[in-house]
C-alpha cells in the first residue's frame, strides 16, 4: 500500500531533484546557489549584498554560483534565467510580496543578532480579517502579543502600530521583518517594554498596488492611498484592537512607525494626530507630499510638548536619503525636535530589521 | 521629491510589466494565463482541471493560453518554461509549499460556495511558536478561534485538530484550505457548531521533508515521523492549546482529522487515543502502515462505544483510493463502524475543502 503512495508522491519529482541543495550556506558564510535549467542560455544570480553574478552550468544542467563570505543576515535573492524572473524551487524560504516575490537565504549568526530565533519565550501573532467600509474591501491586520500576554489578566500594554512598505502586505513585518522575533529577543533581555504590535494592511486603496508599480506615478491616487489608510487605521483597526486586546488607551501608550510608504503614513497619521500618538518613527520613508505645510497644517513648535519621540532614519545608500534630509530640514525650520539616524545600507529589510531593533527600546519609557 | 521615490520604485519594472494581467478570469469562467518569456522555446501551462497546454507567444514575447470555462473554485497552476518550473510573476496568490510552491487562480462563484469570503463575522487565526523537545526543533501551530470568541468569557468550545499533508506546513489549511473561511460560513449559517481549530506543523521529524520527496521512501523514517508527530501533538500542542484557549477538555469535545499524511496521522493518533478523541476524520489518507494490527493494537469492536464518528473519504481519481478501501475492509472485518465517502476528484485541495465542509457540520453534535 505504501508503495502506491510513494509512486504517487514521487511521480512529479525528477531524479536530479534529490541531488543538490540550494542555497547551501557554508560555515564561513559563503553561499552556493544552484538551479537546474539545462536549456537556459544564461542564468544570473541576483542577491542582496552580492554583485549580480553569472552562474555556471555543469554537465547535468545545474547552474551554480558561490558568493564571497556574507555577514550573518537574511538576504533576498532570485534567479534571472534568460531574462525571466525565477524563484529557487529548492528553497521554501520566500520573501512574499504582492508585486515581486523572491527567495531569502539565512546566513546564521550569533544569538546576539536580534532576528535570530533564540530559546526565549515567544509571543503570538494573531491574524484578523474584516470588511473595511473606508477602503471598500475585505482586508486584514496582524497583532503581535508579547510573551506572557494573558487576555484575562488585568495587565494592559502599550501599542506600536507598525506599517509595511509599498508592494508588501500585512504579513511582511512578521515574515520578512522578523518583528515578532526581534521583540521576543528585546523583551527577554529587558531592552524593550513588553508591547503589543499591530501590523495592518497598509493601503488606503488597493488600486495603488493592484495595477503594479505604474500606479505610484499618480500623485492623486497616492495621496488618496495615504489619507484613506490613515482613516482606516484610526476608525477601523484601532477600535478593533482596543476592543479585543488589553491595551493602554492613552496617547503616551501609542506609537506609530513604518518603512518606506509606511514611514510616510506614520508621519502623516502620527504628526496629524498627536492627540492619539506620542511616538512616531519613519524608516526610509518615501512618497511624502513635499508641500509639508499642506500635509502637516497644524504642526507647530508646541508639538514638542506632545511628541515623546520623532525618530527618522534612512540608509546612506538609499535613493530616498535626500528626501528624508529635506524633510528634516523643514522640521528644523519649524523648531520641531526629532532624532535623525543615518545608517549604512540601502532600501531593504536588512536596514529595517535593525531600525526596529533600535526604535522599539526607545518606546514607552518613563520620562 | 516624489519623482525620486518613483524613480527608485520603478527602476526594476520593465515597461511591458504594465501591459498585461495574469491570470485574467473572464466572466464565463475561462481563464487566460500570460507570461513574458521572449527567449523561451516552449512554455506550458500546468493547471488543475486543465490538460497541460502549450502556450502561444505573441510579438512582444508574451506567452498565453486560455482555458475552457472552469467551474468556480481555487485552482493550482504553474508554468513550465523549457523544462523549468516557473511561478507567475504577475500573480501574488500562491499555494505555498515546502517542496513545490505554485500559484492559485480563483474563479469566483456564488456565495453558497463555502470557500467564498462572505459578509459574515470572521474568526481569528493565531500563530504560535514554541520549541519542541519531542522533535528537537522550533516549530509552530495555527489556531482558529470562531467569530465572537472571547477569551475572558465563560463559554468554552470544542476543538478540531486539523492536519495538513506531506510537503505542506502549518499554514496550509488556512491559506490554501480556506479552513477559517469555511468555518466562518458554516457557523454563520448555523450548519456547524462554533469550534476552535488547531492546525499544527504535521511532521514528527523535519528530516522526512527536508531532504525532499525521496525521504518518503524510508519506512522507518516515515513511521518515526508519524509516531513523533502524535507524541508532539499530545504532549506539547494539546496542553498549550488547553492552557491558552477556552476549550472543553473531554473526549467528546475533541476531534482530529487530516488530509493525506495528516489523514494517516489522524487515524494513528485518534484511533490509538480514544480516551482523548471521539471524532476522527481521514481525508485521502496516505502512508498508513498496512500492518493494521500492529498500527492499531487495541482497536476492537468495543471502540464503537467511544467513537462518535470515524469518517473516511477519498476521491475516485486519487491513486490512494485502493489503500483507503483496503483499510475500510479491515475496519469492516473488525466490526468497527465508519462512514465511507467516495467523491469525485483526485489528490487536491479542491477535494479537501469540500471534505472539511462536509465533516465539520457532523462534529460535536449531541447524541
pLDDT at A214: 77
Q: Which chain A residues contact residue B130 at CB under 8 A?
A: 122
A206 touches chain B (CB under 8 A): no
User: What are the backbone dihedrals phi and psi of residue A137, each rounded to the nearest 5 degrees, phi first?
Assistant: -150, 175
Cα separation of B144 and B147, whole Å?
Answer: 9
Specify the CATH number of the domain B124-362. 3.40.50.1820
Which of B84, B99, B152 comes nearest A151 by C-beta? B152
pLDDT given for residue A255 in this prediction: 98
In this structure, what are the phi and psi dihedrals at residue A305, rounded to the nearest 5 degrees?
Answer: -70, -25
| CB-CB neighbors (< 8 A) of B18 in chain A | 211-214
Q: For residue range B180-228, what is the model confidence (pLDDT) as tens digits?
A: 999 999 999 999 999 999 999 999 999 999 878 877 778 899 999 999 9
At the top level of CATH, the class of B20-107 is mainly beta
pTM of the model: 0.94
A96 interface with B at CB cutoff 8 Å: yes
Cβ–Cβ below 8 Å for B216 and A9: yes
Q: Where are chain B's structural domains?
A: 20-107, 124-362
Q: Which three cell numbers stand for residue B192?
A: 456547524
Size of interface A-B (CB pairs under 8 A): 180
Give the model's pLDDT for residue B5: 36
- With b for 16 or more beta-carbon neighbours within 10 A and e for fewer, the B49-79 pattern comes to bbeeeebebeeeebbbbbbeebeebbbbbbb
Residue numbers of B between 32 and 71 with CB closer than 8 Å to A = 36-41
| A contact residues 251-310, partner B, Cβ 8 Å cutoff | 286-290
Tell me if chain B has a CB within 8 Å of the CB of A166.
yes
Q: Give the model's pLDDT for residue A225.
A: 96
* A180 interfaces chain B, CB cutoff of 8 Å: yes
| Residues in chain A, pLDDT under 50 | 1-14, 17-18
Residues of A in contact with B41 (CB under 8 A): 39
What is the residue-wise DSSP string for B42-70?
A: -EEEEETTEEEEE-EE-TTSEEEEE----
Q: Coil, strand, or helix at residue A101?
A: coil
Q: What is the ipTM of this complex?
A: 0.94
Partner A contacted by B214 (CB < 8 A): yes
> Nearest CB to A2: which of B214, B219, B322?
B219
Tell which residue, A140, A142, A123, A141, has the closest CA to residue A182.
Answer: A123
Size of chain A, expressed as the number of residues it contains = 367
- The three state secondary structure string of B267-329 is HHHHHCCCCCCCEEEEECCCCCCCCHHHHCCCCCHHHHHCCCEEEEEEECCCCCHHHHHHHHH
Q: Quick one: pLDDT at residue A12?
A: 41
Asked whether B192 and B360 are in contact (CB, 8 A), the reply is yes
Which residues in chain B land under pLDDT 50? Answer: 1-14, 17-18
**Across the interface, which of A86, A127, A290 has its CB nearest the CB of B124?**
A127
CATH architecture of A15-107: Sandwich (2.60)
The answer to whether B8 contacts chain A (CB < 8 Å) is yes
Q: What pLDDT digit, counting tens, does each position of A336-352 carry? A: 999 999 999 999 999 99
pLDDT score at B11: 38
Q: What is the pLDDT of residue A2?
A: 34
- Contact check, Cβ <8 Å, A8/B320: yes
- pLDDT tens for A168-216 read 999 999 999 999 999 999 999 999 999 999 999 999 999 999 878 877 7
pLDDT of residue B351: 98
Asked whether this chain's domains A15-107 and A124-362 adopt the same fold, the reply is no
A128 touches chain B (CB under 8 A): yes
Q: Which residues contact A362 (CB under 8 A, 6 or more apart)?
A: A279, A309, A311
Could you tell me which chain A residue has the CA closest to the CA of B174? Answer: A127
Distance CA B43, CA B81 (A): 5
Taking an 8 Å cut-off on Cβ atoms, the answer to whether A37 and B84 are in contact is yes
Amino acid at each position: 500500500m505504501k508503495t502506491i503512495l510513494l509512486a504517487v508522491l514521487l511521480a512529479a519529482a525528477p531524479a536530479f531533484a534529490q541531488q543538490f541543495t540550494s542555497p547551501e550556506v557554508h560555515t564561513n558564510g559563503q553561499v552556493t546557489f544552484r538551479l537546474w535549467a539545462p536549456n537556459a542560455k544564461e542564468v544570473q544570480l541576483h542577491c542582496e549584498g552580492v554583485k549580480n553574478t553569472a552562474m555556471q552550468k555543469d554537465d547535468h544542467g545545474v547552474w551554480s554560483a558561490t558568493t564571497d563570505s556574507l555577514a550573518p543576515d537574511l538576504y533576498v535573492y532570485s534567479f534571472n534565467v534568460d531574462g525571466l524572473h525565477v524563484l529557487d524551487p529548492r528553497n521554501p524560504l520566500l520573501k512574499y510580496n504582492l508585486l515581486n516575490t523572491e527567495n531569502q537565504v539565512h546566513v546564521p549568526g550569533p544569538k546576539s543578532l536580534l532576528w535570530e530565533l533564540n530559546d526565549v519565550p515567544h509571543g503570538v501573532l494573531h491574524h484578523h480579517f474584516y470588511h473595511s467600509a473606508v477602503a471598500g474591501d475585505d482586508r486584514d491586520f496582524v497583532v503581535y502579543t508579547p510573551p506572557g500576554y494573558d487576555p484575562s489578566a488585568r495587565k494592559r500594554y502599550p501599542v506600536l502600530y507598525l506599517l509595511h512598505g509599498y508592494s508588501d502586505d500585512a504579513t511582511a513585518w512578521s515574515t520578512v521583518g522578523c518583528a515578532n522575533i526581534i521583540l521576543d529577543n528585546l523583551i527577554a533581555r529587558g531592552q524593550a517594554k513588553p508591547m503589543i504590535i499591530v501590523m495592518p494592511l497598509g493601503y488606503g486603496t488597493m488600486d495603488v498596488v493592484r495595477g503594479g508599480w505604474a500606479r505610484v506615478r499618480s500623485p492623486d491616487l497616492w495621496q488618496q492611498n495615504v489619507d484613506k489608510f490613515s482613516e482606516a487605521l484610526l476608525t477601523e483597526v484601532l477600535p478593533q484592537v482596543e476592543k479585543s486586546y488589553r491595551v493602554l488607551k492613552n496617547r503616551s501608550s501609542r506609537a506609530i512607525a513604518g518603512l518606506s510608504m509606511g514611514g510616510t503614513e506614520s508621519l502623516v497619521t502620527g504628526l496629524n494626530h498627536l492627540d492619539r500618538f506620542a511616538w512616531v518613527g519613519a524608516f526610509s520613508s518615501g512618497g511624502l507630499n513635499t508641500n509639508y505645510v499642506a500635509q502637516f497644517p497644524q504642526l507647530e513648535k508646541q508639538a514638542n510638548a506632545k511628541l515623546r519621540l520623532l525618530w527618522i532614519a534612512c540608509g546612506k545608500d538609499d535613493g530616498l536619503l535626500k528626501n528624508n534630509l529635506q524633510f528634516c530640514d523643514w522640521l528644523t525650520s519649524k523648531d520641531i525636535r526629532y532624532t535623525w539616524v543615518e545608517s549604512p545600507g540601502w532600501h531593504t529589510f536588512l536596514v529595517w530589521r535593525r531600525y526596529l531593533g533600535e526604535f522599539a527600546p526607545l518606546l514607552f519609557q518613563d520620562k
